[in-house]
Amino acid sequence: MTNTVRPRPLIELTAAVAASPEVVLAAVEAAIRAAGGGRIEVDRVRRTVAVQGGWWYRGEYEVEATAGGSRLTHRVRNVARRGRWAVPLANRLFVGYRARTSCGFTAFVRDLNVEFGGPERSTLET
């Protein structure tokens, strides 16, 4: 991680995926690379993928092993070095940012579960 202090997430979402952590990590990395943009960091030991772009955005994905496959957690952090205070304000003005992030994550998890034979609906924790 670029910053030594990890700012508290603006958004944190977690859901179950019916596949091994290695498979889920590879799928997350592939999806981020396909989307393009930003600097991508992959830590296979910790099972994390992060993408950082723009002046404030850092999206982090963490994969943990569970009895039924994996738990995928997505966090959005404000890593702005200047004007940090403006990010939460700007995001409130971008009405629906949290909802769009949640919908995108839910759709991604659903697609993974369909691909790997899990349930189409996964409980989303926020």
Laid out side by side, the sheet with 57-66 consists of 9-17, 69-78, 57-66, 48-53, 39-43
Q: Would you state the structure tokens that stand for residue 23, as one six-digit string?
A: 């498979």
Name the domain count of the chain: 1
pLDDT, residue 37, reads 75
Instruction: Quote the CA–CA distance of 63 and 30 in Å, as a whole number.
Output: 14
Give a yes or no: residue 126 inside a domain: no
Please tell me the pTM assigned to this model: 0.83
Give the helix/strand (H/E) hosting 67.
none
What is the domain-level CATH number for residue 35? 3.30.530.20
Query: Where in the sequence is the domain holding 25, given as residue range(s)?
Result: 9-116
pLDDT per residue, tens digit, the chain (126 aa), is: 444 567 788 899 999 999 999 999 999 999 999 998 789 999 999 999 999 987 778 999 999 999 989 999 999 988 876 655 566 656 665 667 788 899 999 999 999 999 988 776 666 665
Task: Quote the pLDDT of residue 1.
Answer: 45
Q: Is residue 42 part of a domain?
A: yes
Residue 55 lies in a domain: yes
Instruction: Tell me whether strands 48-53 and 39-43 are parallel, antiparallel or unpaired.
Output: antiparallel
Would residue 112 count as lying in a domain? yes
Predicted local distance difference test score (pLDDT) of residue 123: 60
Distance CA 59, CA 1 (A): 11
What local confidence, expressed as pLDDT, does residue 29 receive?
96
Q: In whole angstroms, how far apart are CA 63 and each of 12, 38, 54, 75, 100? A: 13, 21, 24, 12, 21
